[in-house]
């Protein structure tokens, strides 16, 4: 992977139009706890969740991105976190296979959407694989995580289906249980990430691949500031990650603040709500 250079704040970055899949949180709730963020004893304001999700969708559209919506289903309160539904690249799609029983019903819903969407090849993951929660494409390389949800064996399965080299990383802190909670892809050559979420070997790997990466603070990570989407210029992320906003501006990116406080209660933010369909 080519070395990236520091970019002056006034450098013009060019946004790339993207295609996203989202799921409206009509059935969103926190009725179980499968990550440290979830507390079933606190009531959920579903109306607020829908309003915040709708604002995110509208923001994507305002910035020229295409957004498609898969219908939510009763009994699947986490289906709003569409990023976990699978991986879609170049006309091929792999539907996820979830770790926890509470989410396993989502597999069929996302697979059916891929089939209806006209993908030329649609498969269901053989190993435990939580989609773009743990698989993030950076240019021509796939970063893939293991440690809490996705199995290491699934990394090879993804590499074989999509024909893209996979770099395996290990997550070590349950608060950052998916790769997309600890690392954000900024463009085809660079990322932002929070080093303590990764094993020492994985930190060394990331330092080698991305010597000019944006390093997030603990405060950024604790509000899921890295659970963000970037089009190469605009970075859509929680308004609460103020340190990260400043760091991004210093590299020539334009932060777009998003409020998803209600969905954060289930351990998700901008990227969790967004499955990117790569061309």
Parent domain of 217: 19-278
- Give per-residue pLDDT as tens, 135-153: 999 999 999 999 999 999 9
- The CATH number of the domain holding residue 93 is 3.75.10.10
Is 1 part of a structural domain of the chain? Answer: no
Contacts of 207 (CB under 8 A, 6+ apart): 213
Residue 166: helix, strand or coil by DSSP? strand
pTM of the entire predicted model:
0.95
Is 128 part of a structural domain of the chain? Answer: yes
Name the nearest CA neighbour of 84 among 74, 94, 69, 71: 94
Residue 6 pLDDT grade (very low, low, confident, very high; cuts 50, 70, 90): very low
Is 238 part of a structural domain of the chain? Answer: yes
Residue 12 pLDDT grade (very low, low, confident, very high; cuts 50, 70, 90): confident
- Mean per-residue pLDDT over the chain, rounded: 95
Contacts of 180 (CB under 8 A, 6+ apart): 83, 132, 133, 134, 136, 226, 227, 271, 272
d(CA 219, CA 242): 9
Q: Which of 23, 65, 234, 272 is catalytic?
A: 272
Identify the residue whose tokens are 């997309």: 180
Domain count within the chain: 1
Is 244 part of a structural domain of the chain? Answer: yes
CA 194 vs CA 35, 74, 166, 214: distances in Å: 18, 35, 20, 9
Contacts of 98 (CB under 8 A, 6+ apart): 84, 104, 106, 107, 128, 130, 149
- Give per-residue pLDDT as tens, 82-136: 999 999 999 999 999 999 999 999 999 999 999 999 999 999 999 999 999 999 9
178 included as an active-site residue: yes
Q: Which two tokens stand for residue 205?
A: 């790997």
Is 92 part of a structural domain of the chain? Answer: yes
Is 224 part of a structural domain of the chain? Answer: yes
Is 101 part of a structural domain of the chain? Answer: yes
Q: Which of 65, 178, 234, 245 is catalytic?
A: 178
Is 14 part of a structural domain of the chain? Answer: no
């Amino acid at each position: 992977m080519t070395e990236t250079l520091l970019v002056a704040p006034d450098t013009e970055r060019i946004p790339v139009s993207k295609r996203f899949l989202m799921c409206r949180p009509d059935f969103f709730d926190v009725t179980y706890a499968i990550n440290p963020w979830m507390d079933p004893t606190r009531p959920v304001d579903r109306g607020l969740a829908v309003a915040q999700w709708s604002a995110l969708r509208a923001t994507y559209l305002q910035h020229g991105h295409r957004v498609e919506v898969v219908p939510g289903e009763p009994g699947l309160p986490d289906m709003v976190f569409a990023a976990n539904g699978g991986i879609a690249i170049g006309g091929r799609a792999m539907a996820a296979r979830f770790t926890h029983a509470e989410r396993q019903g989502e597999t069929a819903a996302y697979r059916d959407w891929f089939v209806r969407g006209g993908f030329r090849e649609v498969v269901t993951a053989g190993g435990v694989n939580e989609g773009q929660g743990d698989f993030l494409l950076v240019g021509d390389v796939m970063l893939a995580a293991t440690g809490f949800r996705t199995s290491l064996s699934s990394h090879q399965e993804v590499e074989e289906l999509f024909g893209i080299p996979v770099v395996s990383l290990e997550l070590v802190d349950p608060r950052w249980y998916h790769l997309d909670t600890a690392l954000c892809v900024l463009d085809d050559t660079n990322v932002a990430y929070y080093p303590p979420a990764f094993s020492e070997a994985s930190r060394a790997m990331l330092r080698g691949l991305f010597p000019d990466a944006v390093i997030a603070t603990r405060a950024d990570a604790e509000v899921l500031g890295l659970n963000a989407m970037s089009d190469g210029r605009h970075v859509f992320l929680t308004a609460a990650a103020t340190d990260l906003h400043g760091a991004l501006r210093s590299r020539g990116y334009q932060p777009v603040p998003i409020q998803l406080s209600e969905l954060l209660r289930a351990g998700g933010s901008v990227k969790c709500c967004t499955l990117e369909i790569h061309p």
